[in-house]
C-alpha cells in the first residue's frame, strides 16, 4: 500500500483487534508498549518495514497470539523472554534484524504448539539451547547466520516433526 510513518500508540486501544498486518510498507520507529494491551490479537505481521529499537517487552502479554512476524526490519537488542512464554504461539519469525543476546535456556518449555521458529540473520550468540528438543511440534527451525557456538544439541534429534533445519553460518 506504500504506507509509512510511525505506528501510533493509540492502536493499543483497539481491544478487539484480532489481526494486525502492516507488512511491506515503510513504517519506521519503535513499537509502543501499548501494543501489549491487544489481548485478543491472534496475528501480528509487520515484516518488511523499517521498524527499529528493541522489541517491546509488552509483547509478552499477548497471550492469544499465534503468529508473530517481525522479520526484515531493524530491531536490535535482546529478544524479550516473555515472547517465549506465549503458549499459543505457532510461528515466530524474527529473521533479518539486528537482534543480539542469547536464546533462553528454557526456550521451548512454554511453547507446546510452536511449529516455525526463524531467528536467522541476526547477531544472536551463545549456545543452541538443548531445550529446543522439547518443541516437539517444530517443523521448521532456522538459526542460520548468527553467532552461535558449540555443538548441535543431541535433543534436536527429538524433533520428529522437523522438516527443515538450517543452522548454517554460525560458529
What's the pLDDT score for residue 2?
Answer: 84
What's the pLDDT score for residue 113?
Answer: 97
pTM, full prediction: 0.96
What's the pLDDT score for residue 1?
Answer: 72
How far apart, in Å, do the first and last CA atoms of the chain sit? Answer: 40
> How far, CA to CA in Å, does 108 sit from each of 47, 75, 114, 157?
23, 22, 8, 15
- As averages over each run of 10 residues, the pLDDT of the chain (171 residues) reads 91 96 96 95 98 96 97 97 96 98 96 97 98 97 98 96 98 92
What's the pLDDT score for residue 128?
Answer: 97
Dump pLDDT digits (tens) for 37-80.
Answer: 999 999 999 999 999 999 999 999 999 999 999 999 999 999 99
CB 105 within 8 Å of CB 127: no
Of 71, 22, 87, the closest CA to residue 79 belongs to: 71
What's the pLDDT score for residue 125?
Answer: 98
Amino acid at each position: 500500500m506504500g504506507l509509512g510513518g510511525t505506528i501510533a500508540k493509540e492502536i493499543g486501544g483497539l481491544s478487539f483487534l484480532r489481526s494486525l498486518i502492516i507488512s511491506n510498507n515503510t513504517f519506521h520507529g519503535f513499537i509502543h508498549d501499548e501494543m501489549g494491551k491487544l489481548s485478543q490479537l491472534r496475528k501480528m505481521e509487520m515484516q518488511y518495514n523499517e521498524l527499529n529499537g528493541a522489541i517491546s517487552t509488552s509483547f509478552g502479554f499477548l497471550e492469544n497470539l499465534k503468529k508473530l512476524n517481525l522479520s526484515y526490519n531493524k530491531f536490535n537488542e535482546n529478544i524479550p523472554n516473555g515472547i517465549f512464554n506465549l503458549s499459543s504461539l505457532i510461528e515466530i519469525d524474527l529473521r533479518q534484524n539486528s537482534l543480539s543476546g542469547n536464546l533462553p535456556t528454557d526456550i521451548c518449555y512454554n511453547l507446546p504448539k510452536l511449529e516455525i521458529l526463524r531467528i536467522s540473520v541476526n547477531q544472536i550468540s551463545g549456545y543452541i539451547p538443548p531445550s529446543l528438543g522439547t518443541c516437539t511440534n517444530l517443523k521448521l527451525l532456522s538459526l542460520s547466520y548468527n553467532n552461535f557456538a558449540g555443538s548441535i544439541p543431541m535433543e534436536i534429534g527429538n524433533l520428529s516433526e522437523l522438516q527443515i533445519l538450517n543452522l548454517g553460518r554460525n560458529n
